[in-house]
Structure 1
Amino acid sequence: MSEQHDAASAELSREGLRPGQGEEPAEKRVVHTSITEETLSPAEAEAAALDERAGAVVVFSGVVRNHDGGQTVQRLDYSSHPSAEQALAETAAAIAAKFPAVRIWASHRVGPLTVGDHALVAAVASAHRQEAFAACSELVETIKAEVPIWKKQLFDSGESEWVGL
C-alpha cells in the first residue's frame, strides 16, 4: 500500500469511517426518534446509537426531579402538539447534518411521569468524544427549545404550573 493510501485510511479512521466507505446521509444516521408514552431506557438508546465506528457514546437522560422553584414536585404531565414527532425527527436530522460522523437516538416521553422517570433520552455516538458531547448537547438544547412539548408541574401543595408554553 502507498503512503498516500495509508494517510487517507488514517484520516477516514479519525472521522469514524472505514476505508472505502462514503459518508452516510444524515437521515440514515438518525437511528430512532419518537414521542411516546412508554418508559424510556438510556441503555436501549446507547445500544441503538452504537456501531463499530464509534469510540464514544454520550447519553443524556432528562429525569423528573422532586423539586423546582423551591417547591416539592409530585409529578409532571407532559403533552405535545401533533407535529412534535415530526419536529423531533427534523431536529435530529439537522444535528446529524451538522455533525456528519454521528449516529443519533432521541425520544421524549409524554403523559404522567413521577419523580425518577426519564422524560427525555438522547444518545449520540461518534468516533471521538468531543464530537459526541457537542452533538448531544446541541441536540438536547434544540429539542427543548423547538419541539412543541409542554409540561405541567404538580406540586405537593396542590398548586400546578405549566412550563414551556
Structure 2
Amino acid sequence: MSAAFTVAVQTARFDPGAEMAQLAGLPDVGAQVCFVGQVRDFGDSQAVTALELEHYPGMTEKSLLAILDQARARWPLAAARVVHRVGYLPLGEAIVLVLTASAHRGDAFAACEFIMDYLKRDAPFWKKEHTAAGSHWVEAKHSDQQAAQRWQ
C-alpha cells in the first residue's frame, strides 16, 4: 500500500478540503470524489441526539486498508483515503470521509461508492444510538447488505 492509499481512525474532526488538497497535483488525476457522512436523525419515533462508535484498534485499520486494496484492484485509482471517527459524536458531526482520485470521474465515483458500501456492511465498527429515551446498539441493516451485493 503506497502513501497515496491511507486510512485513519480517530476521535478528532477532519477537514475534507484539506484532505482533498493533499491529493491536488498528483500526476494523472483528473477527478477526485469526496463523500462525507454525518450523524443524522433517522426520523423515527425516537430522535437521535448522538452516535457513539467503537472499534478494535489495529484490526479496524487493517480491514480498511484491505478494502482500499480491493478498490485498487477494480479501478485505476491514483489515491484513496478513508478517515473514520470513533467516540461520542453529536448530531450533525462528520463521521466518515471517503476520498478517491483517478484519471476519470467514473472510476473515482464507482470506487468511492464501493468503499462506502463496504464500510456500511463489513467494517469493524460498533455504533450506539443515543436518544432522549435512552441508548441502544445499532443492528446491521438489510439495505446495507443489498447495496454491497451489487459489487459481487
Give the TM-score normalised by the residue count of structure 2: 0.82
Residue in structure 1 matching 2:31, options 49, 56, 59: 56
Contact (CA 8 Å) 1:33, 1:85: kept in 2 or not? Answer: yes
- Equivalent position amino acid for 1:60 in 2: F
- Equivalent position amino acid for 1:118 in 2: A
Paired residues, number: 138
User: 2:79 aligned with 1:118, yes or no?
Assistant: no
Q: CA deviation at 1:37?
A: 0.9
Paired residue for 1:28? 2
Paired residue for 1:47? 21
After superposition, what is the alpha-carbon deviation per residue over 1:47-94, rounded to whole angstroms, capped at 9, x for unaligned?
233424211111000111133434211111000123111111111122
Partner SS for 2:50: strand
The higher radius of gyration belongs to 1
Pairing 1:53-132 to 2, within 5 Å after superposition: 53-82=28-57, 83-132=59-108
Give the TM-score normalised by the residue count of structure 1: 0.76
**Cα RMSD, aligned residues only:** 1.8
After superposition, what is the alpha-carbon deviation per residue over 1:12-41, rounded to whole angstroms, capped at 9, x for unaligned?
xxxxxxxxxxxxxxx226432011111122
- Equivalent position amino acid for 1:159 in 2: G
User: 2:114 aligned with 1:138, yes or no?
Assistant: yes
Stretch moving more, 92-101 or 72-81: 92-101
Q: How far apart in 2 are the matches of 1:129 and 1:142?
A: 20
Q: Flag structure 1 segments of 5+ consecutive residues without an equivalent.
A: 1-26
Contact (CA 8 Å) 2:81, 2:99: kept in 1 or not? Answer: yes
* Change in CA separation of 1:70 and 1:42 when aligned onto 2, cut-off 3 Å: farther
After superposition, what is the alpha-carbon deviation per residue over 1:79-129, rounded to whole angstroms, capped at 9, x for unaligned?
012311111111112212221234101111000001111111011011111
Contact (CA 8 Å) 2:53, 2:126: kept in 1 or not? Answer: yes
